Amino acid sequence: MRWSYRFATIFGTDVRIHITFVLLVAWYAFTAWQAGGNEAALASAVFLILVFGCVLLHEFGHILMARRYGIRTPTVLLSPIGGVAQLERMPEEPRQELFVALAGPAVTALIILGLGGALAVTNGTGDLLNFDPAHDRLVPALFRMNIVLLVFNLLPAFPMDGGRVLRALLVSRKGMVRGTRIAVRIGQAFAMGIGVLGLIGNPMLIIIAGFIYLAAEAEASMVETRAAGRGVTADAMMITDLRTLPVYATLEQAVRLLLAGEQREFPVVDNDGRLEGLLTRDHLIRGLTDQGPGATVGTVMARQVEPVTAGTPFEQALERLRTSGLPALPVVDQNRIVIGLITTDNITDLLLVRRHLAAPA
């Protein structure tokens, strides 16, 4: 994730903070400093950090519930628009998604009960950890903020928690693809409403609305992609008419091969045809600039390439391609002999054909 940095690792999940979150804290602190000096700036920064601490607890509600169903969460990202727990996969059963979606709001509800209990015990009086900006106190301010977060998260605006609850209920009746598409349309309608409110008075709502709209569309696309690729393995989506390069070939030879056809990525092999690496067009251009046309492809190719086998399932192959950061991955047999190449373009073409064939006449 660009512009994000690991802050801690909790229960095996990396907690990452986006740089814009740091800028947000700095901006609120600066604004408070202008109004009330150093103490106000510190109080404002501490309050915002505590709010995001509550958001983090909310996300770990999702994470720990997902873990009960065998779903890992490699990272959780904190940004100015909230937290995002990046599950390695979505729950397969609607009931599981329902419980995972509700676990976060349940944690927020517990936080509200705890803070409300503190207010009840003191009858809302006393210092309650003094907090300045706007002459508010810390506990009441956190109490109100968590109520806002709970209500906002439970709006049926997919992919927020309320939208995921709605999707889980729809999927049980309509199926995954159709249920997701309905939930997405409802979520995008809410997003447009939130955007209109932002135009009236709060520009931050416009950013949130844009995030909801685009994230909902991306989720729908991902679900449709998974459905279209169900039952497909790497051998059904790989390019078999391809050229390879020996590891000792020069960049000049690679340029000739690049210009001779439409292939843009070339598996690099040893004398026995076993995979050594992958030469992409970017590697080739960079190598020509840094080392000249006489350098060998072995000096500029990507070496840390995790290939797929012919029987690798579609989702696993797609995820490996996505996480590799490369535009293509070689397909190899049990002896690491290259037998094909999967690229983003030919996967897209395959999915378009399968969606068309699956569409009702």
Q: Which long-range contacts (CB under 8 A, 24 or more apart) does 347-354 make?
A: 347/237, 347/318, 347/321, 350/229, 350/232, 350/236, 350/237, 351/225, 351/228, 351/229, 354/228, 354/229, 354/232
204 burial via Cβ count (<10 Å: 0-12, 13-18, 19+): exposed
Q: Is the peptide bond before 313 cis (omega within 30 degrees of 0)?
A: no
Considering 39, 59, 93, 265, which one is annotated as catalytic?
A: 59
Q: How many angstroms separate the CA atoms of 330 and 277, rounded? A: 9
Handedness of CA 333, 322, 98, 185 (dihedral sign): negative
Question: What is the phi/psi pair of residue 354, to 5°?
Answer: -65, -40
Residue 82: strand, helix, or coil = strand
Q: Token match 């000249």: residue?
A: 292
Q: How many angstroms separate the CA atoms of 196 and 178, rounded? A: 27
**Catalytic residue at 59?**
yes
Range 24-57 burial, b when 16+ CB lie within 10 A, else e = bbeebbeebbeebeeebbebbbebbebbbebbbb
Torsion of CA 29, 194, 101, 64, to 10 degrees: -10
- Name the β-bridge partners of 137: 130
261 burial via Cβ count (<10 Å: 0-12, 13-18, 19+): exposed
Which two three-digit tokens encode residue 324?
């590799």
- Using alpha carbons only, what angle is made at residue 44 by residues 125 and 132, rounded to the nearest 5 degrees? 35
Q: What Å distances lie between residue 323 and 305, 317, 320, CA to CA?
A: 11, 10, 5
Active site positions, annotated: 59
